[in-house]
Structure 1
Amino acid sequence: MQRYELTDEHWSLIEPILPPQRRTTRGGVWRDHRTVVNGIFWVLFSGAAWRDMPERYGSCKTAHDRLARWQRDGTWDKVLCALRLRADERGLLDYSQYNADTTSIHATRAAGGARKKAGRKRLE
């Protein structure tokens, strides 16, 4: 297993949430979701460009397209919600630092709507 790849335990948590695996009769070979998700994680966690994704994860276009499709249809939100719920059930979330407001994070002067100082005029 590589650094950014899902373990069997982690995969078993998100696999039921992902859309059904498509079976195609035309075009190229359809990569399974686990391979593509591992490729997506590789790009996102490594910070590399999509075109630098290793070939073992399939086409970078496939990975990017599925990332975008699942973002649009709410799949990633469902995955995050399920993982958050599981972590909460196991007592892994600390809600004592959950709220952030101006009493704990002070806004800068510019963010507070302060007037901008006019610049000096140029001499010609």
Structure 2
Amino acid sequence: MGDTFMLSEEGLARIEPFFPLPRGVAPVDDCKVISGTIHVIRNGPRWRDAPLEYGSCKALYNRFKRWSGKGLFDKILSRLSAKDGPREGD
């Protein structure tokens, strides 16, 4: 995967309570969506330039917008950077 960021299973477990229950269409892999969003935020590419390993750029952007609008993405980032556990990517 080169220099792409991928959230660990431990990191995913820390933020799993924030994910809504899947309904309707088959869900997009939450780990890939979070990892892809963090990659875009950290490295600054446009959403459409996010590596394909993270899935559809449209899915990344739409999930980020939806979760940000509900305040969930801030909670996710806070949980990942909490002092009671390791920070992802460090």
Please classify the TM superposition score into its range, dividing by the shorter chain length: 0.7 to 0.9
Percent identity among equivalent residues? 36
Q: Which runs of 5+ in 1 are unaligned?
A: 93-124
Task: Please point out which of 44, 57, 80 is paired with 2:54.
Answer: 57
TM-score by length of 2: 0.73
Paired position in structure 2 for 1:5: 6
Q: How many residues align?
A: 84
Moved over 3 A (4+): 80-84
Q: Which amino acid aligns with 1:9?
A: E
The question of whether the paired residues in 2 share the 8 Å contact of 1:21 and 1:33 is answered with no
Distance 1:77 1:43, change over 3 A: closer
Q: CA deviation at 1:62?
A: 1.0
Q: Distance in 2 between matches of 1:4 and 1:47?
A: 13
1:73 to 2:70 alignment: yes
Greater gyration radius = 1
Larger relative contact order, structure 1 or 2 (CA cutoff 8 Å, min sep 6): 2
Greater helix content? 2
Q: CA deviation at 1:3?
A: 4.2
Q: Which runs of 5+ in 2 are unaligned?
A: none
Q: CA RMSD in A?
A: 2.4
